[in-house]
Amino acid sequence: MWKNKFHISPPFGLLNDPNGLIFWNNEYHIFYQWNPNACEHGSKHWAHLKSRDLINWEFLPIALSPNDWFDKNGCYSGSAIEKDNKLYFHQQ
C-alpha cells in the first residue's frame, strides 16, 4: 500500500480541514476533522497528532468527539490555545 512519507494521513476514514495548529510543550500539535467511521462527511471528530520535527508524527487519542447535542453534525472548525501551560480548544 502506498503511504505519504512527509504528510499526515489518517489510518482510515475521512481527513478534512486541519484545525488548532499549535506549538506546545516543545512539540507541534495538529488537529484535523476526521470521520473514523467512513470515508464520507458526517460524524466529524478531531484527530490529534504531535511531532518534534514536523516529519515524524505520533497519533494521539481523539481530541474532540461529537458527544453533545450541539455537536450532532460533528465537531467542525476551531482553534487551540495555551494558557497557564494547559491546552484549550475552541470550536466554532
Instruction: Give catalytic residue positions.
Output: 17
C-alpha span between 28 and 44 (Å, rounded): 22
Percentages helix, strand, coil for the chain (3-state, rounded to 5) are 5, 50, 45
Contact by Cβ (8 Å): 45, 70 = no
The secondary element (H helix, E strand) that includes residue 29 is strand 27-35
- Write the single-letter amino acid at 29: H
